Amino acid sequence: MHILFICTGNTCRSPMAEALLNHTSHINTASSAGMFVPYSSGASPHSITTMSSYGIDISGHRSRQVTDAMIKEADLILTMTEGHKKSLLTIFPHAAEKTKTLPEYAGLAGDIEDPFGGDEALYSSCAESILKCIKEAKL
């Protein structure tokens, strides 16, 4: 199964989710994109550092805007927040059947909060929340 993770700018949460799933799953593959990506950039420095603590290198990541082709390619679309989900389905209503928030898919409440602008501890906490959801969802 191919899973597409969606966040705002595709520099923090969704690249970490993509990396964590690809690192831990032998069944599923992941990619990521953002809802609002004005230009391509690398993963945030704290995302890179946080993922390196898991033995994962995301230094080559480049952010990208979600497209209809990505939506069609994905078997499952997992957003970081309910707001992302609503925005995505406004633009791509045909994706409704395969779109959930990551916590919702894992049977958990709430959103994966954005660590952008925070310190390394906040990014680490975010990564732990993502990993918890991945494990709970048995992805």
Tens digits of residue pLDDT in 57-81: 999 999 999 999 999 999 999 999 9
Q: How confident is the model at residue 31 (pLDDT cuts 50, 70, 90)?
A: very high
Strands (E), the chain: 2-7, 29-34, 76-79, 99-101
The tokens of 32 are what?
């990521």
**Interatomic CA distance for residues 30 and 25, integer angstroms:** 9
Global model pTM greater than 0.95: yes
Whole-number pLDDT of residue 118: 97
Whole-number pLDDT of residue 109: 96
- The length of the chain in residues reads 139
Q: Which of 30, 5, 7 is nearest to 87 (CA)?
A: 7
User: Which residues does the annotation mark as catalytic?
Assistant: 7, 13, 114
Q: Is the dihedral of CA 65, 69, 73, 79 positive or negative?
A: positive
Under CATH, which number does the domain 2-136 receive? Answer: 3.40.50.2300
Count of beta carbons in the 10 Å neighbourhood of residue 86:
11
**Interatomic CA distance for residues 21 and 7, integer angstroms:** 15
